Structure 1
Amino acid sequence: MTHPALIPGIGVEDTPRVFSTNWAVFGIAGVLVLGVVVWGFLAPDSISAAGAASLGWVTDNFGWLFSLLAIATIGFMFVVGYGRTGGIRLGADDESPEFSTVSWIAMLFSAGMGIGLLFWGPAEPLAYFTDVPPGFTAEPGSRDAMLDALAQSILHWGPMAWAFYALVGGAIAYAAYRRGRAPLISAIFRPIFGERTEGWIGAVIDVFAIIVTLFGTGVTLGMGTLQIASGVEVVTGIGPLGNAGLIVIITILTAAFVVSAVSGIKRGIRALSNINMVIAAVIGVFIFIAGPTLFLLNMIPASVSAFFGELWTMLLRNPAQGNDAAAFMASWTNYYWAWWISWTPFVGMFIAKISRGRTLREFVTVVIVVPSIVCIVWFGIMGGTTMLFESQGSGIADAGSPEAILFAVFGALPFGVVLSVLAMISIILFFVTSADSAAIVMGSMSQRGKPEPSTWVTITWGVLLGAAALALLLAGG
């Protein structure tokens, strides 16, 4: 008997499926999101307390599950990509990819991590360098602590994070472009629930996916807004912008990403992603050359060795090892796993859209391996430079907030103001590409997987996304 995966594929557009608006999904998700936004504006202290309590409950009761999921997911994806199924194409057997490999990778980064790389690139390794995570034996501030800090950062941002995206993205692409199902989160549950995924069970899944997408993306957009505000303060020399400045920034950027989203993936997101990849590369290469080049040439390969050498120490860290380990897992590792999982509906659907025509082997290689290599190099350059400057007495840590550390590092380099301006442009473009990708995906989910959702639906979700990011910011986190 022929395995179903080996049967010649059929795309969803070759089926009689009608992509009409699912008013139940659109209405219920919209009302729930709007309710949370209003709650955030009217009672920020209340929603902040509720969020903290919810996060604490989840990490206390399900923290163990996050690490288990991370290990199982990456193991499964490597088997799928490099085993006997690796040659299966996400589409018809003779189908060619729609986007070039360079554009494909650029859009992956812009949608998948974007702002976080600039926000946490220097700040996260510095945090571990000055306060070594439990389980490591290095002295804070030592060269060994630098390697441990980079190893821990690679764990959070490397292959395991991208494996979550690959799992959902690959499942949706396979279902939609090879099995003729709707490109929806609910569609990948068809083997479990059968035809009921076309009914109320599917609607519940898609409502949940929209809510997770919107607020997961909103957190990242809030970080981007904080960093843009910090950059404006540094470059212009004006005082703290306050809430009024944050409102102006989010309003302007929301308008920008809605326009980009309405223009569609091919024109808007691809163009901005390609531009942004060039800007980010210029920043990274300049720091590498103008910064401690020889130090980084030694530190980056050594960080990979440290990652594999300390992998089990990091993965097996758990609350049973004491309060410090429990606090670290809750604040960092489990929080990251939850964050990546919250992004999987959005990023997974977006990756599926841009990966059509690729084989599973290509898919796993480019979605997991290539981004992981780039993350290793990026954190090595940004984090390594930051930690070295701190060890030499530059006082980078005195900048305080994570969003300010990036600009403190630039201040210690030649042409710091130029780098700060480029970084703000990159953050803005990451903000726009992440948000417009999310708006398109949420629009698609509320219109039964419509490849190009209606303009009014995309605009609605874009406005709600901007409002949610602002509400979360004003609530204090």
Structure 2
Amino acid sequence: MSIRPPLKELNIKTHNKGFYKGFNRSVTVTSKILVTLVVIWILSDIENSGAILEAMKNWSFTNLNSYYTYAVAFYVLVCLAVILIPSFGRTKLGSDPNGKPEFSNFSWFSMIFGAGIGIGVLTYSAAEPLWHLANNPDTIMAKDMIIASLNSNNIPIPQDADVFALYQSEVAANAIPALDGIVVPKTEAALDAAYRYSFFHWGISAWATYSLVGICLAFFCYARNLPLTMRSALAPLFGRSLEGPLGNIIDISAVIATIFGIAQTIGIGLSSFASGLYSLTGMTWLVTDAANPEPTVGALLMSLLVVMCLSMASALSGVGRGVKWLSNINMVLSFLLLAFFLIFGASMFALEMLGKGILSYVIHLPAMLVTVWDPNTELGVWQTSWSVFYWAWWIAFAPFVGMFLARISKNRTIREFGLIGIVAPSLTLFIWFSFIGGTGINLEMSGIANGQIYNSGLTAQLFDIIGLMLSPAMANALSAMVVVLLLTYLVTSADSALLVINMVNAAGKVQVENGQKHIIVWTIALTAVIAALILAGGLDAITSAMMVAAIPFSFIIILMAISLLKALILDNRRAKEEILEINTEQ
């Protein structure tokens, strides 16, 4: 029995005149209304809206930690399957067997990295290993073991006591026996876990989520000739019903997730950008407290205005000009910064951490992907605050990054997409975390920093590391480069997101008659959303909104994965039938 041919036509209704000419009005107008209602709701009652967003985030942390954990594990499994199975991996993301990629490997990788998590790496590569060195699941489990041992030996534990210090003093006094496997915070014993979990959050899990969406979209667009929009990736499951309301709902979910996913990334970038300006200028209005500098609302709003004006200008110039050139500049400046740490940082220590961290990560990855702790325990609180937060962030970011990756990846194979789109950026991030974060750890563990980096805010720690390594003049020069790099990453992420939103609204079309006008409208809308969330509670409010927006799209990605597997399996069966028919005729 022959298999039906795949669906290669999807008629998505677009308007034929006026401002919305070339756009799907149901998707575009509904998305704008929903975004506008969110902004109005927040601004009408800033205090209560912030509290409601916080409650929604806490609910998702408590009730969805298992779902997010297993969903991301599923994304990783499917992504690895389509890359590693030979017949799947050699599938070309294009209909022309002789077609060539549009962008060089360097420009392609630059845009992947810049649009993906370039902003986060500047902030978290310095901060996250330090945070995990002080507190991670290994230290938490060690703390639980110590408390159980102290209780069993009837040794009182004073309120707010340093349990590890108490344990060490009791062991020294022979009051209790030494325990095996105790990982003490901020010591060499905690280094393994610090890097294992840093790599876990920024490695394969993140890039598999992005790449899965990108591979799905590129396959159905370039190999099936369907529109480059989210609904197309579900064609094997829902067929032509995607031309109507069901498809509109899917695309609207993608637009909303993109808005709040990019808001999270820009929010973190704005905080780092403002911290960098304070490090350079010392202007007190930029921070709330000079002793523990956190950006003020005014500093964040000023930074937002600068970033969004530049982003709109870049988006209006298109992918082949503004986005491409900014991405290339990002990569050059990034590697200059990395080269500085390679030469002048704690290089030998960093190389050791890189090797040991990758080995520990690979060994523990299967268990980490499926481990879920009770959210009401200290381990569960850590998991929701770190891992689940990241999974929601990557999912909310996936429609934007996935579609952008699909847009720039025509005529690549699935395996090429996977190897470059998952392995290469993961290894690059591991190097960043090892050399920049490792230098910060080395400064603290050697006593040079004396707690300065530990006690600093997350978005300011990179500037503290630079300040401790260099003279004031040289530190200012390098900090200035970091500020410029942050700005270019912010602009690249925002302008790429604006282009993707336009493509979804325009039923997958890259060039639309009124496209530039809509980019301006969406720039204003995105600016209004981020500004309103900043006023409602800063980064906490942005994170809360992102956590909620990620929920519906996380389910859509699961359906996209099933759809891709179904399409690839049926294609293999069709190919075998064709071979059988040819052999029979001969």
Bucket of the pairwise TM-score, normalised by the shorter protein: over 0.9
Answering whether residue 98 of structure 2 is matched by residue 90 of structure 1, we say: no
Residue of structure 2 in register with 1:224 after alignment: 269
For the residue of structure 1 that corresponds to 2:307, the secondary structure is helix
Deviations 1:13-72 (A, max 9, x none): 9xx999821111111110111221233333222222222222222232221122212222
More displaced, 160-169 or 399-408? Answer: 399-408
Mapped partners of 1:396, 1:4: distance in 2: 66
**TM-score of the pair, normalised by structure 2:** 0.77
Say whether the 8 Å CA contact 2:375–2:384 is kept in structure 1: no
Residue of structure 1 in register with 2:238 after alignment: 193
Moved over 6 A (4+): 1-5, 9-13, 16-19
Q: 1:282 to 1:135 in 2, by over 3 A?
A: farther
Mapped partners of 1:4, 1:243: distance in 2: 58
Per the TM alignment, residue 199 of structure 1 is displaced from its structure 2 partner at its CA by 0.7
Q: 1:408 aligns with which of 464, 474, 485?
A: 464
Residue of structure 2 in register with 1:458 after alignment: 519
More displaced, 307-316 or 383-392? Answer: 307-316
Per the TM alignment, residue 11 of structure 1 is displaced from its structure 2 partner at its CA by 10
Say whether the 8 Å CA contact 1:218–1:469 is kept in structure 2: yes
Answering whether residue 278 of structure 2 is matched by residue 233 of structure 1, we say: yes
For the residue of structure 2 that corresponds to 1:357, the secondary structure is coil
Q: 1:119 aligns with which of 108, 120, 123?
A: 123
Per the TM alignment, residue 156 of structure 1 is displaced from its structure 2 partner at its CA by 0.4
Residue of structure 2 in register with 1:258 after alignment: 312
For the residue of structure 1 that corresponds to 2:476, the secondary structure is helix
1:51-130 to 2 correspondence within 5 Å? 51-83=53-85, 84-92=87-95, 93-130=97-134
Q: 1:11 to 1:366 in 2, by over 3 A?
A: farther
Answering whether residue 389 of structure 2 is matched by residue 338 of structure 1, we say: no
Q: 1:42 to 1:80 in 2, by over 3 A?
A: same
Q: 1:295 to 1:377 in 2, by over 3 A?
A: same
Per the TM alignment, residue 142 of structure 1 is displaced from its structure 2 partner at its CA by 1.3
Mapped partners of 2:214, 2:10: distance in 1: 16
More displaced, 355-364 or 187-196? Answer: 187-196
Q: 1:144 to 1:2 in 2, by over 3 A?
A: farther
Q: 1:24 aligns with which of 23, 26, 30?
A: 26
Q: 1:204 aligns with which of 229, 233, 249?
A: 249
Amino-acid identity (%): 33
Say whether the 8 Å CA contact 1:90–1:357 is kept in structure 2: yes
For the residue of structure 2 that corresponds to 1:403, the secondary structure is helix
Say whether the 8 Å CA contact 1:410–1:420 is kept in structure 2: yes
1:277-288 to 2 correspondence within 5 Å? 277-288=331-342
For the residue of structure 1 that corresponds to 2:412, the secondary structure is coil
Deviations 1:234-278 (A, max 9, x none): 111111423223222111211100000010000011100001111
Say whether the 8 Å CA contact 1:317–1:325 is kept in structure 2: no
Mapped partners of 1:349, 1:222: distance in 2: 22
Per the TM alignment, residue 104 of structure 1 is displaced from its structure 2 partner at its CA by 0.5
Mapped partners of 2:192, 2:339: distance in 1: 21
Say whether the 8 Å CA contact 2:211–2:418 is kept in structure 1: yes
Per the TM alignment, residue 320 of structure 1 is displaced from its structure 2 partner at its CA by 3.5
Say whether the 8 Å CA contact 1:219–1:472 is kept in structure 2: no
Residue of structure 2 in register with 1:420 after alignment: 479
Per the TM alignment, residue 141 of structure 1 is displaced from its structure 2 partner at its CA by 1.0
Mapped partners of 2:341, 2:493: distance in 1: 25
For the residue of structure 1 that corresponds to 2:469, the secondary structure is coil
Answering whether residue 495 of structure 2 is matched by residue 436 of structure 1, we say: yes
Answering whether residue 464 of structure 2 is matched by residue 387 of structure 1, we say: no
Mapped partners of 2:457, 2:467: distance in 1: 15
1:268-279 to 2 correspondence within 5 Å? 268-279=322-333
More displaced, 399-408 or 89-98? Answer: 399-408
Mapped partners of 1:396, 1:331: distance in 2: 23
**TM-score of the pair, normalised by structure 1:** 0.94
Q: 1:322 to 1:250 in 2, by over 3 A?
A: closer
Per the TM alignment, residue 179 of structure 1 is displaced from its structure 2 partner at its CA by 0.6
1:95-174 to 2 correspondence within 5 Å? 95-133=99-137, 134-135=140-141, 137-174=182-219
Residue of structure 2 in register with 1:355 after alignment: 409
Per the TM alignment, residue 122 of structure 1 is displaced from its structure 2 partner at its CA by 1.0
More displaced, 383-392 or 108-117? Answer: 383-392
For the residue of structure 2 that corresponds to 1:351, the secondary structure is helix
Residue of structure 2 in register with 1:39 after alignment: 41
Mapped partners of 2:214, 2:367: distance in 1: 30
Mapped partners of 2:32, 2:251: distance in 1: 12
Structure 2: runs of 5 or more not aligned: 143-181, 287-295, 540-586
Structure 1: runs of 5 or more not aligned: none
More displaced, 186-195 or 346-355? Answer: 186-195
Per the TM alignment, residue 314 of structure 1 is displaced from its structure 2 partner at its CA by 3.1
Mapped partners of 2:226, 2:445: distance in 1: 55
Mapped partners of 1:2, 1:354: distance in 2: 35
Deviations 1:256-303 (A, max 9, x none): 000000100000111000011110111111012111112112221111
The aligned amino acid for 2:259 is L
Q: 1:468 to 1:173 in 2, by over 3 A?
A: same
Say whether the 8 Å CA contact 1:91–1:178 is kept in structure 2: yes
Residue of structure 2 in register with 1:267 after alignment: 321
